[in-house]
A = this chain, B = another copy of it.
Amino acid sequence: MNKGLLIVVSGPAGSGKGTVNGKLLESDAYAFSVSATTRAPRPGEVDGVNYHYVTREDFERRIRAKEMLEYTEYCGNYYGTPLRETLEALNAGKNMILEIEVEGALNVKRVYPEAVLIMLLPPSFAVQEARLRGRATETEEKILERLERTRAELPELSHYDYVVYNYDGGADTCADDIRAIVRAERCAVRRHRTAAAEYFETH
């Protein structure tokens, strides 16, 4: 059984990362990491499915014990990726998808350099803005906040491995791009450091 790949997918609001990742998860070869959080479950949310709901004390103990692959604090609550669960799924051959933002993604790469960082982007900032304005649900304040965040984060793209553009209606193409990236990464020589020696030893 080959180890799975840790795939970090980031993307600004309007990039469609939820839809694209949903398509990848249709296959058994991919799994989604369930995050831990200190925020209270909302009606309908299930512990262990939407999140692992833990106390603030427990979360901070996990951070100190280095049991979190990455974590962030947002609006007074912690959110993070449990390390052991993720490693177990990788060892079982699953390609694990982490849908996290830029800061968390770069932290994952530091802790687990074999991770593949993929940035999903709308075709352009202009298209992103049009998509956000097209969502009747968003307030102007929220839209501007999200666009501002994209401006601040996008220079970090240079630390990512791949960039995938999501054109209108292009979620299937994006999922195919990510599947190709995973297939190619499995062939990368830097993931087969002992290949030359093994070639002569295997019978």
Name A's B-contacting residues (CB within 8 A).
118-119, 121, 123-126, 151, 154-155, 157-158, 160-164, 176-177, 179-181, 183-185, 187-189, 192-193, 195-196, 198-203
Q: Which of B162, B196, B203 has a CB less than 8 Å from the CB of A184?
A: B162
Report how many copies the assembly holds: 2
Q: A155-B196, A180-B180 are known contacts. Are A188 and B202 too (CB-CB below 8 A)?
A: no
Q: Is the Cβ of A124 less than 8 Å from the Cβ of B184? A: no
Q: Is the Cβ of B183 less than 8 Å from the Cβ of A126? A: no
Q: Is the Cβ of A123 less than 8 Å from the Cβ of B187? A: no
Q: Which of B123, B158, B162 has a CB less than 8 Å from the CB of A196?
A: B158
Q: A184-B183, A187-B177 are known contacts. Are A199 and B124 too (CB-CB below 8 A)?
A: yes
Q: Secondary structure of the A side of the interface? A: helix
Closest B residue to A198 using CB positions: B124
Cα separation A180 to B176 with both chains bound (whole Å): 9
Q: How far is the CB of A65 from chain B (nearest CB, A)?
A: 34
Chain B residues, CB < 8 A from A180: 179-181, 183-184, 187
